């Protein structure tokens, strides 16, 4: 019961460390170039992640240290559990909305329609996550009562998974068309790497969301699904920063590909 939370916390800290490096790189490369809205997005996400990491650490500390030797602790929810869900769903909605905006900017017409669909799916997933968090906070009598929240959790995680897949598919489609239309070799090389990055980012978040949903559906009364919960938010934040910092790598790649 306690093991998955400890593993999830360790991976959470690993991903938070990676995020710190990415935020530093972003600040060094783009803090004087990007528009205010993008700067606010990056630093707000980073601030939320600092709070989130503190909450995750406190939650795991409650399981494996503070309440050690009290078996009832493993069947109840710590006070920090609900805020963790709130922050995770919020981070996911922010990052998914960012990619919806990027898709709308890349392609008018069909791209804008896809962006609206992505935003609406993300919005419903976010609301479902908040509803789950609200009930999760009141599950002090036992985690077995979480089974009654199956419809809400399925809606939340299934829509989040679908949103990640849709973002990846649309981005790959748009970039593939751009690659086919490009005439310069260096442009084709850059777009090819963008396609690979879009697939990797979408697959990474979709896999973790799918695992969390699978573990919750098959083993709802243990804490195995919590390990993915601790990881997912950090993964979204890293994907966001990797996408923004990737602009520098793409420019370098383009320069290197120029004859």
pLDDT at 79 over 60: yes
The mean pLDDT value for 139-165 works out to 73
The mean pLDDT value for 145-172 works out to 81
Q: Are 235 and 206 in contact (CB under 8 A)?
A: no
Query: What residues make up the domain containing 80?
Result: 3-257
CATH number at residue 63: 1.20.1070
Determine what percent of the chain is predicted with pLDDT higher than 70.
76
Question: pLDDT higher for 178 or 154?
Answer: 154
Q: Are 122 and 167 in contact (CB under 8 A)?
A: no
Q: What gap in Å lies between CA 253 and CA 189, rounded to an integer?
A: 8
pTM: 0.84
Residue 188 has what pLDDT?
65
Q: Are 88 and 130 in contact (CB under 8 A)?
A: no
Q: What gap in Å lies between CA 161 and CA 138, rounded to an integer?
A: 26
Residue 140 has what pLDDT?
47
Domain count, the chain: 1
Whole-number CA gyration radius for the chain: 20
The mean pLDDT value for 186-199 works out to 66
Residue 250 has what pLDDT?
65
Q: What gap in Å lies between CA 160 and CA 141, rounded to an integer?
A: 28
Residue 76 has what pLDDT?
65
């Amino acid at each position: 019961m306690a093991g998955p939370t400890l593993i999830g916390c360790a991976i959470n800290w690993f991903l938070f460390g990676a995020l710190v490096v990415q935020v530093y790189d972003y600040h060094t490369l783009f803090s004087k170039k990007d528009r205010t809205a993008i700067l606010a997005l990056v630093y707000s996400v980073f601030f939320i992640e600092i709070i989130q990491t503190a909450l995750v650490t406190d939650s795991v500390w409650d399981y494996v240290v503070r309440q050690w030797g009290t078996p009832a602790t493993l069947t109840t929810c710590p006070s920090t559990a609900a805020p963790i869900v709130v922050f995770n769903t919020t981070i996911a909605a922010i990052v998914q909305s960012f990619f919806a905006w990027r898709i709308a900017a890349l392609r008018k017409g069909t791209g804008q329609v896809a962006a609206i669909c992505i935003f609406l799916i993300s919005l419903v997933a976010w609301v479902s996550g908040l509803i789950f968090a609200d009930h999760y906070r009141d599950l002090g009598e036992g985690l077995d009562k979480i089974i009654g929240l199956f419809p809400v959790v399925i809606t939340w995680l299934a829509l989040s998974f679908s949103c990640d897949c849709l973002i990846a598919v649309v981005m790959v489609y748009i970039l593939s068309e751009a690659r086919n239309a490009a005439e310069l070799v260096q442009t084709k090389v850059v777009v090819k790497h963008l396609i690979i990055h879009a697939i990797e980012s979408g697959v990474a978040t979709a896999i973790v969301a799918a695992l969390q949903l699978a573990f919750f559906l098959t083993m709802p009364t243990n804490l195995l699904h919590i390990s993915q919960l601790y990881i997912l938010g950090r993964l979204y934040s890293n994907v966001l920063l990797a996408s923004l910092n990737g602009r520098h790598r793409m420019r370098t790649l383009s320069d290197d590909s120029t004859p």
